[in-house]
Structure 1
Amino acid sequence: MTIDAEVQALSRVPLFQGLEPSKLRLLAFISDRMEFQDGEHLCHQGDDGDSAFVVLSGEVAVFVDENEVAKVGQYAIIGEIAILCDVPRTATLQSVGTTHILAISKDDFLKLIAEFPKVSLEIMRVLALRLEKTTRELAQARPAST
């Protein structure tokens, strides 16, 4: 994939929408390109969080305690919780089919957040939506009191 194609892909990631193309080009340039085959792991639950991943193509299954909890596809960003919260990875990520990834290092991701407040606001929005969804699911799973 060319840098121009990577810039186009990054512009479709909700977290990075609104960033200037020159900043997206820099982000694409400093990121690592990775390819995973079906069943390969991007990372394991409990690992140190040293990067976030942008799915350029393909699909990634998300496992928590060996249970598949989600699948994410093209233009998703995953793995950001570990680097934002400075905690071990909260999930295992496994490629479904051939998957192409841009890996953004922790340092570069944190610099991006510091430089662009819009990215910080979008991260807060995404994390708040995830928290709301989890809270709702927990409430539905809890047995009603009698």
Structure 2
Amino acid sequence: MALMEDIRLLSQVPLFAGLSEDQLRLIAFGAERRRVSTGQLLFRENSPAECAFLVIKGLFELSNMGRGGKPVLATRSGEGTLLSELALFTLCERKFTAVAAEDSEVIRITRTLFHRLVEEYPDVADMVIARIRDNLASLASGAAAMQHRFN
């Protein structure tokens, strides 16, 4: 039953939307479920990121040191949120610290697993590249629309 629930949740994540059930099953079967207790650290800012986490249930407070060395609360994430998705594509460091704000559960998806998906289903790479390109275009458009604020 948990496998089907994981497949359903994965299908709702923008990065994985449009993947076939077999492709989602590969991710769900190879991923690892983890329980995270209130106050427990999921990951720390500036640590190596070798995986992403999909929130199944619960909330995480996301913070970074910000300017002046004071912690800045970035957001709280809930069900269906994918944390640190960049780690699926390349070696990088965590950009923030994630701490469970309540008892939570996540699915840990490793970069190795994601690369296996792309190797077995090359069309997934094309789809992901198109999504990244669309996201960058949207970001550039949004920045251009706000340009007047910085003049």
TM (norm. structure 1) is: 0.80
Structure 1: gaps spanning 5 or more residues: none
- Matched residues in 2 for 1:110 and 1:11: separation? 18
- Matched residues in 2 for 1:21 and 1:98: separation? 29
Aligned twin of 2:59? 59
Compute the displacement of 1:3 (Å): 0.4
Task: Indicate if the aligned counterparts of 1:113 and 1:120 stay in contact, CA closer than 8 A.
Answer: no
- Matched residues in 1 for 2:39 and 2:137: separation? 30
Aligned twin of 1:109? 114
Compute the displacement of 1:107 (Å): 1.4
SS in 1 for 2:73: strand
Over 3 Å counting, the alpha-carbon distance change for 1:97 and 1:133 in structure 2 is: farther
Task: Indicate if the aligned counterparts of 1:113 and 1:119 stay in contact, CA closer than 8 A.
Answer: no
Amino acid across the alignment from 2:72: N
Compute the displacement of 1:81 (Å): 2.6
SS in 2 for 1:97: coil
Say whether 1:95 aligns with 2:100.
yes
Aligned twin of 2:130? 121
Amino acid across the alignment from 1:93: A
- Matched residues in 2 for 1:82 and 1:10: separation? 17
Amino acid across the alignment from 1:11: S
How many residue pairs align between the two structures? 142
- Matched residues in 2 for 1:135 and 1:73: separation? 30
- Cα RMSD, aligned residues only: 2.7
Over 3 Å counting, the alpha-carbon distance change for 1:125 and 1:96 in structure 2 is: farther
Amino acid across the alignment from 2:32: D
TM (norm. structure 2) is: 0.78
Compute the displacement of 1:51 (Å): 0.5
Q: How does 1:1-146 map to 2 (within 5 A)?
A: 2-65=2-65, 66-113=71-118, 115=122, 116=124, 117-126=126-135
Which of 1 and 2 has greater Rg? 2
Task: Indicate if the aligned counterparts of 2:26 and 2:117 stay in contact, CA closer than 8 A.
Answer: no
- Matched residues in 2 for 1:90 and 1:67: separation? 12
